[in-house]
Amino acid sequence: MTSTISNEFITANINHKGAELFSLLTNDTNKEYIWEGNPDFWGKHSPVLFPIVGTLKNNSYTLNNQKYSLSRHGFARDMTFELIEKTKNSAIFSIQSNKETLKVYPFDFEFQIHYSIEEKNLIIQYKVINKNQSKMPFSIGAHPAFALNGNFENYAIEFEKDETLVYHLLENDLISSKTETLEKTDNLVKLNYSLFENDALIFKSLISKKLAVLHNNNPLLKVHFQGFPHLGIWTKKDAPFLCIEPWHGYSDTNETTGNLFEKEGIQVIEANDIFTSQFKIEII
């Protein structure tokens, strides 16, 4: 099943599986901004990452001296969400813990994704409800892939602030201690596939909370991620898309203890509390 929300400017289509955004169109030109999901490159569009972001060391963690297995990016993207509220320009999707999730993540929760459209902005809010009488550790992140048609090297990303762009490298899907610095000119980073030879660029901290994607120096869209402490940027060689990924958390480091509460970048919700965070895709 899919659901559509729209206003006079843009239309968004969301698959109930994973509550995944798979289309974002301008109504006047019918221009598509979300990657088509061609499996020859990458068969997804904008999966949500929960209750972990990235990869756990040995795909496992420990909690109360018990070992659990949890695959890359968690299970929410593979679950069918219930549509619990719908208007012309908004939709709320929900999943809840069940006997299968409890086998790999022993916490009682509800996870909602709220989509809403305001003018040329798609706002995506995450709401994690801790239904336990104890603290609940988790990570959550977005993974939207934006369609970049034509020559990849004609595109650039513009960072909001003038800062040194230090990112961590991945080794065997884990965060390494090795870092590199993105070269930029006037806050612009020109895209080329060699930037992603070692997989994603992982920024543990940025001053910038907004990125613009430019084509031939003309802005296409902006991603606003105020409140998200981490960011990933990724594509695959020769693939006509770019992922800009606001995160709360990231893959394990090689030095991890395996204890989920001690995981670098982990978020923790107090008993019976609620976590919310949102980001925005602005069409220019």
Angle at 27 between CA 25 and CA 28, to 5 degrees: 125
To the question of pTM greater than 0.85 for the whole model, the response is yes
| CA separation, residue 49 to residues 53, 98, 132 (Å) | 5, 18, 21
Task: Look at the chain and report how many structural domains it folds into.
Answer: 1
Residue 77's domain comprises: 2-283
Q: Which two tokens stand for residue 123?
A: 């706002």
- What pLDDT is recorded for position 168? 95
- pLDDT band for position 247 (50/70/90)? very high
pLDDT in tens, 83-128: 999 999 999 999 999 999 999 999 999 999 999 999 999 999 999 9
183-190 average pLDDT score = 95
Using a pLDDT cut of 70, give the percent of the chain over it: 100
pLDDT in tens, 63-77: 999 999 999 999 999
- Mean pLDDT across the chain: 97
Please report, for the domain that includes residue 74, its CATH number: 2.70.98.10
- What pLDDT is recorded for position 132? 97
